Amino acid sequence: MNEDPITLLVVDDLRSNLFALEQMLAPLKVNTILAEGAQAGLKHLLHSQVDIVILDYSMPGMNGVEMAKLIHQQYSEPPPILFVTAHGNNVHGLEQTCYQVGAMDFIEKPIHEVQLVAKLKVLITLVKQREEMRRLATVDILTGLPNRLSFQDTIKQNMSLASRQKSKLGLLAFDLDDFKGINDKYGHDVGDALLIEFAKRLSNSIRTSDYAARIGGDEFVCLLTNIHNDDEVKNIAKKISEQCNGTFHYEGKELRITASTGAALYPDHGETPSLLSKAADVALYDVKANHKGSVKLCNSQDHRASNHERVTGHIKLGYQPIYDRQRDQIIGGEIFCRLENANEYGGIRGTIEHIRQLGLSRTFEKTLKDKLLGEVCTSSNSANLSGIQLFLNQSSRELINYELNQQLIDLSKQLESKNLHLTIDVSDWERARDMPLLIKHLATLHDAGIGLCIQDIGETSIPVAMLLTLRPEYIKLSRVLITSFEHNTIYSDIIDACCKLSQAINARLIAVGIETESQFHGLKQKTIQHFQGHLWDLDLNVDDFTKAISQHKHI
């Protein structure tokens, strides 16, 4: 809770009333500001931090009601107001009027000290709770550093100031080396202790004018103010790195902390928070790929452009058919993205993560969608695709982005003109960063006619109430269940439960990743509608996919 003293502003047109209230407030140990009249009170609100306002209801000139209205018009988070009135129940609708203009409560004259103190204690508690909630919303609970939300506000404010002063800022992006390996080997307690220790070293190594934050996982940032050139950023980054890297002791274990550091300069490498962060990330992931534990400053826009070309210039799409057992035909296809240089980054998942780390997710997503639209609309057999459902994988972390959702809606509209239907195939559900916003965006996509499929049912943790809210058209069984159910009755029972779940929420169940005939025959005994896997097809190009549909290829 916030231990700073509460500041009360007392507004009354009579000095005698002001001094009387000041005496009554003494036991509360609060800071008291006395204002004679509404105009004086408004001036104090402009120049002082006020937590609670005690306001006389009836004053000459601007009365208490008018002042309360003005306060609520001018302030996004107005302080609680306690009205003081001599009229009591003689004023018609006094209580309703007070609440309509934003007053939290009122007290009648003559004022009883006990009653006044009791009402103010309630308001003081409310103010402290609100401050604590605001603090928790901007502080990382584990390390005590500011969090991503606080960092975003701070970098915006500092960029605005630097722009006016024609000055520079430095941004350092840190990523702990091999953190996942330590976490997996020694457990989350050791991992948490390591994060706490790194945060402590980072806080102790930065200048008083700089700002450090933890923005997620093992990712930290530091905003450097009063910067003049590239060399200054690099020198500060190296000093911080030297003080943060080193031996770490925890319950008899001796571990070593090292962090890779990427640096960027405002406005040279980016004129917005997003662009500057992407520039620092480009440098960071070059460091992690080549010289872990060291520091690198982003070279230039040309460097970012070369990464852009390397990542997006070789996109290949594959289509894996999804079969309907009852109709014995292909009802859709899952879109797979391949890059010619994907093995460099550990396969497709590693590639997508690499693209995200480079800050090129938006460009990559748009390129992928443009290529998909171009292929399915210009294929020599595109007429055969009519009525087909196209399943496009999307990360839950990306779906909270407005720009991406607009891309999906535009893509869906163009596909619908060809009688093709888009379904987003949501992965990494448990890593969603802002669940209320994600649900809101999914509702918008649903209203635009875009279907929803949720992956890894039976393994991912998603509340049933959430499924009822989202109402997905499709759900996909976890591949772990598919590969294990023949040898473990528990997995088989889980699949049966997923079948019942799909029926209960009126969603179609897809068995994904079928590799063998025995898997297929075992799953056919259950109430599963759709099947997909390499047993029948690898990822087909668009022409082979449309040919398979036209030939009524069956399973």
Active-site amino acid positions: 218
Give the separation between CA 104 and CA 122, rounded to whole angstroms: 10
CA atoms within 13 A on the CB side of 120: 28
| Residue owning tokens 């982003």 | 298
For residues 356 and 344, is the Cβ–Cβ distance under 8 A? no
Structure tokens at 493: 């029972």
Residue among 555, 489, 488, 490 at smallest CA distance from 528: 555
Q: Residue 125: in which H helix or E strand, if any?
A: helix 113-138
How does 395-421 read in b/e, with b if 16+ C-beta sit within 10 Å? bbbbbbbeebbebbbebbebbeeeebb
Pairing mode, strands 219-227 and 211-216: antiparallel
Determine phi and psi for 96, rounding to 5 degrees: -65, -40
DSSP of 507-552: -EEEEE---SHHHHHHHHTS---EEESTTT--PBPHHHHHHHHHTT
Distance CA 555, CA 543 (A): 20
Cα–Cα distance, 53 to 80 (Å, whole number): 6
Whole-Å CA distances, 131 to 12, 266, 521:
27, 32, 60
Strand 295-297 versus strand 259-266 pairing type:
parallel
Q: Are 109 and 84 in contact (CB under 8 A)?
A: yes
Question: How far apart are the C-alpha atoms of 124 and 112, rounded to whole Å?
Answer: 18
Integer Cα distance of 13 and 125 in angstroms: 28
Q: What is the 3-state secondary structure (H, E, C) of 111-123?
A: CCHHHHHHHHHHH
Distance CA 334, CA 319 (A): 6
